[in-house]
Structure 1
Amino acid sequence: MREAFSNALVRLALADPKVLLLTGDHGYALFDEFRKRCPDQYINAGIAEQNMVGMAAGLARVGFRPFVYGLAAFVPIRTIEQIKLDIAHDDLPVVLLGDGAGFVYSHLGTSHQSTEDIACTRAIPGLEILSPADRFEMTASMDRAYAANGPVYLRMGKSDRGDVHAGPVGALQSGKLIQVRGGRGDRPGLIATGSMVRAALDVAQPLDLAVWSAPVLKPLSADDVCAAARATTGLVTLEEHSVLGGLGAAVSEITSEHHPVRVLRIGVPDRFSAHCGTHAYLLREHGLDTDSVRPRISAFCTAIAPGAGVAASA
């Protein structure tokens, strides 16, 4: 997925000299090709992310198309005020690239883990949020971000979990879900985003559950969410993000207003990590690995099965 990101960025910059890449002293190997082919469009702003975002706002005002790259713990989290006031308030076409979202930078501890970025950015007016699941969604997300007339946050999670699509997905429509697996209508459906789409597919196969990917988290289509709810008996959301304020919250907000249905939100509990370790270890610690997710979804299937009666809220 990171290769697809790099390729898309080079392609956009070669086609449009107004495209600029700003980085906070990160991603050298990732941007080797960009620096080789577009050296005059590359700016290393140093370890000064807040200044970098302000610089991007100024460049956008004079007609450039800045892409601002940093670790998700810093872009957007460290720079949230600058994103809000310098970029989003004036609806400037700046693309914010938050790499390593969730637990990707696991060994570096809480300071470098980002499980609150969706919640923080969802509340900023006018800021679109993209969360690709594989290389095909990444390419489509980059094209959508470039075509946007306003600010975009593109969230990059674990990049080596494999494809979830067989080929290109085409242009991403505003807030549309992409169904990646069919399933039985008498069982719940899974809506996942980013790295958790792969986990959703692994869990869904033996249970014969439908799976939708949500590459566009804001705006999120109420029509699509309700259609998924009507096609199933309940919804399960999966995200490598806090259960507060992310995909699960967005789906629950939509269904509570438009199509009340049981929703099981699977994400990071409301706590910090107790220990450092590998990415796989932290998924286990927070109950996001497949072995932890599968029994929760199986129990939810049983609880909401036709004739099971009214169960407690998930």
Structure 2
Amino acid sequence: MRAAFSEALVRLAKADLNVLLLTGDHGYALFDDFRKECPAQYLNAGIAEQNMVGMAAGLARAGFRPFVYGLSAFIPVRVVEQIKLDVAHDKLPVVLVGDGAGFVYSHLGTSHQSTEDIACTRAIPNLSVYSPADRFELTACMDMAYQSRAPVYLRMGKSDRGDVHAAVPRVRAGSLLEAKPGKTGDIAFIATGSLVRTAIDIAAESYSDAAVWSAPFIKPMDSEQVTAICAQSRIVVVLEEHSVLGGLGSVITEIASEFAPVRILRVGVRDRFSHYCGTYEYLLKEHGLDRPAIEQQIRGFLTAN
């Protein structure tokens, strides 16, 4: 996914000299191609993320198209105020890219684990929130973010759980993408980011008739499409490598409660920090987001409902 991000960024920058990359002293190897192809469009703002977002806002006012890159624990979590007041308030065309969302930076502890970034950003007016599941969705999201000419937060995982699509999908803002076709009437899966691949694998093995929908857009969200899925399903399972408070599960539940009440299982990070450091796979297990734990949650929910 990160390679697709680099390729899309280079392509956009070569086509539009107003595209700038701002980084907070991160991603050196990731941006080797960008610095080689577009050296005059690369700015290292140093470890000063608040200032970097302010710089991006000023550059956007001057006609540039800034892409602001950092770890998702810092972009957006450290700079929520600057995003709100400097960028979103005036609808400036700044794309904020948060890399390593969720538990990817597992060994670095709570300071570098980001499971609240969607909740922080989706409440900010004028700010769209994208969460691609694979390299193909990432490419589509990068193009849409550039074309939108409005503030966007793009949440990028680093775990690369495998491709969800065979090619870059055709998307429209807010749409869910069918990652696994299925019948309606019983269980449907809606997932985002790293857990889309997990949802596909679980459904394919244990719930062969179930459809799996990928949500590359958290905000805006196509409420009519979500309503249709919920109205046709007995159970909806929502999966995300993010807190169950304020993330995709909250979005789906809010829409369903108003337009198509249905039983919804929200699979995500519960209201707590990690107890220990460890590998990425270890932290997924600690938080009940590894495949066996998710399957157990689904079985228990289905039995109770």
TM (norm. structure 1) is: 0.95
Aligned to 1:307: none
Aligned to 1:200: 199
1:149-179 deviation line (CA, Å, top 9, x unaligned): 2100000013421101122202x21211001
Aligned to 2:294: 293
Retained in 1: the 8 A contact 2:231–2:261?
Answer: no
Retained in 2: the 8 A contact 1:2–1:159?
Answer: no
Judging changes above 3 Å, is the alpha-carbon distance between structure 1 residues 182 and 166 closer, same or farther for their aligned structure 2 residues?
same
Aligned to 1:34: 34
SS at match of 1:125: coil
Aligned to 2:179: 180
SS at match of 2:30: helix
SS at match of 2:230: helix
How far the C-alpha of 1:288 sits from its partner, in A, is 0.4
* Equivalent AA in structure 1 for residue 186 of structure 2: R
d(CA) in 2 for partners of 1:139 and 1:190?
23
Retained in 1: the 8 A contact 2:2–2:158?
Answer: no
Retained in 1: the 8 A contact 2:133–2:194?
Answer: yes
How far the C-alpha of 1:303 sits from its partner, in A, is 3.6
Q: What are the equivalent positions in structure 2 for 1:1-314 lying under 5 Å apart?
A: 1-170=1-170, 172-206=171-205, 207-208=207-208, 209-304=210-305
How far the C-alpha of 1:210 sits from its partner, in A, is 1.1
Retained in 2: the 8 A contact 1:128–1:152?
Answer: yes
* Equivalent AA in structure 2 for residue 119 of structure 1: A
How far the C-alpha of 1:148 sits from its partner, in A, is 1.0
* Equivalent AA in structure 2 for residue 265 of structure 1: R
Retained in 2: the 8 A contact 1:97–1:153?
Answer: yes
d(CA) in 2 for partners of 1:145 and 1:240?
22
How far the C-alpha of 1:185 sits from its partner, in A, is 2.7
SS at match of 2:77: coil
Which deviates further from its counterpart, 27-36 or 205-214?
205-214
Aligned to 1:308: none
How far the C-alpha of 1:296 sits from its partner, in A, is 1.3
Where do 5+ consecutive residues of structure 2 fail to align? none
Retained in 1: the 8 A contact 2:66–2:94?
Answer: yes
* Equivalent AA in structure 1 for residue 74 of structure 2: F
How far the C-alpha of 1:203 sits from its partner, in A, is 0.9
How far the C-alpha of 1:237 sits from its partner, in A, is 0.5
d(CA) in 1 for partners of 2:136 and 2:86?
31
* Equivalent AA in structure 1 for residue 277 of structure 2: C
Retained in 2: the 8 A contact 1:187–1:301?
Answer: no
SS at match of 2:175: coil
Where do 5+ consecutive residues of structure 1 fail to align? 305-314
**Matched length:** 303
d(CA) in 2 for partners of 1:73 and 1:282?
16
Retained in 1: the 8 A contact 2:233–2:262?
Answer: no
